[in-house]
Amino acid sequence: MSEAIIRLENVNKWFGQFHVLRNLNLDVERGERIVICGPSGSGKSTMIRCLNRLEEHQQGRIVIDGTELTNDLRDIETIRRDVGMVFQHFNLFPHLTVIENLTLGPIWVLKKSRSEAEAAAMKYLERVRIPEQAHKYPGQLSGGQQQRVAIARSLCMSPKIMLFDEPTSALDPEMVKEVLDVMVNLAEESGMTMLCVTHEMGFARKVADRVIFMDQGEIIEQNTPDVFFDHPQHERTQLFLQQILH
């Protein structure tokens, strides 16, 4: 039996007195696509940020591809090389051009040569359908284009796992589709493990292998999209779905 690529065991986290993650248990298989939804404050972003140590969990174990996440800097760096993240507010580097943003990681972390990194970067820019923007600065691009650059930037590191923290929440409605199209394409063609926190239920239906509903730091329900949306079992899930599907 293949071991899960992500395993959370009894993970607990507090922000001061506030118990944000309560006894989380989750196994993610290699190549699985997971969508995490839930009301704000439910801990969904915190949970995925724990996966690449942007947040620290206080109790429990997190194991990513066989390496446990601890305070050991080397383990953290190993894990971050294999886990890519796309943020709600893009977090592109404004003082570098698009191509420089993309090649920064490969050159300095993966120690690739500049020409190799640039060739790969152009390939990923074409994959997200904006190769002509390579020499522009992020400030000169629209929100949807910036988010696609952010996706390409993570892809350039050839990660095994991609985390998406509400990637379309900060975009104008017209641009949401272009980013979702890229993510659907990525899900269908690459076979990469993807964890996506989002409110885009259409995307979840199309792409997810599993939809997870979180509330107040706990996983309330998880199921395949069909069962999740058509036959939610818990009352809180039903309430949530009523509120967002209108």
Partner 1 sequence: MSANSAMASRGPAYSHSRIGWIKDNLFSSPLNMLLTVLVGWLLVMAVPAMSDWLFFDADFTSDTAQECRQAQGACWAFIAEKHRLILFGVYPYDEQWRPLLATLVLVATLVCSAIRFFWKPWLGLLWAAALAAVAILMWGGVFGLSHVENDRWGGLPLTLILSTFGIAFAFPFGVLLALGRRSHLPAVKSLCIVYIELIRGVPLISLLFMSSVMLPLFLPEGFTIDKLLRAQIAIILFAAAYIAETVRGGLQAIPKGQYEGADALGLSYWQQTRLIILPQALKVVIPPLVGIFISLFKDTSLVVIIGIFDLTQAAKAAIADAAWRGFSVEAYVFIAVIYFIFCFAISRYSQRLERHLDKGYQR
* Distance (Å, whole) CA 20 – CA 36: 16
Q: Which of 16, 66, 139, 173 binds partner 1 (CB under 8 A)?
A: 139
- Between 136 and 205, CB nearer to partner 1: 136
Q: Which of 8, 87, 117, 183 binds partner 1 (CB under 8 A)?
A: 87
* Distance (Å, whole) CA 104 – CA 150: 12
* Distance (Å, whole) CA 131 – CA 224: 35
Please tell me whether residue 228 binds partner 1 under the rule CB under 8 A: no
CB of 79 to partner 1, least distance (A): 9
Please tell me whether residue 109 binds partner 1 under the rule CB under 8 A: yes
Please tell me whether residue 104 binds partner 1 under the rule CB under 8 A: yes
Q: Which residues pair with 94 in a beta bridge?
A: none
Show contacts with partner 1 in window 161-220 (CB under 8 A): none
Please tell me whether residue 98 binds partner 1 under the rule CB under 8 A: no
Q: Which of 12, 23, 67, 91 binds partner 1 (CB under 8 A)?
A: 91
Strands 6-15 and 210-215: unpaired
Please tell me whether residue 108 binds partner 1 under the rule CB under 8 A: yes
- Binding-site size, partner 1 (CB under 8 A): 29
CB of 190 to partner 1, least distance (A): 18
Question: How crowded is residue 59: how many other Cβ atoms within 10 Å of its Cβ?
Answer: 12
Please tell me whether residue 89 binds partner 1 under the rule CB under 8 A: yes
Asked if 211 contacts 204 with a C-beta cutoff of 8 angstroms, the reply is: yes
Please give the C-alpha separations between residue 178 and each of 67, 129, 140, 151, 241, in angstroms, as whole numbers: 35, 9, 18, 12, 24
Burial class (CB in 10 A: 0-12, 13-18, 19+), 113: exposed
Q: Which of 105, 167, 217, 225 binds partner 1 (CB under 8 A)?
A: 105
Asked if 109 contacts 81 with a C-beta cutoff of 8 angstroms, the reply is: yes
What are φ and ψ of residue 119, in 5° steps? Answer: -65, -45
- Between 95 and 246, CB nearer to partner 1: 95
Which span sits near partner 1 by CB under 8 A: 25-33, 82-90, 210-218, 235-243?
A: 82-90
Q: Which residues bind partner 1 (CB under 8 A)?
A: 52-54, 77, 80-81, 83-85, 87, 89-97, 104-105, 108-109, 137, 139-140, 153-154, 157
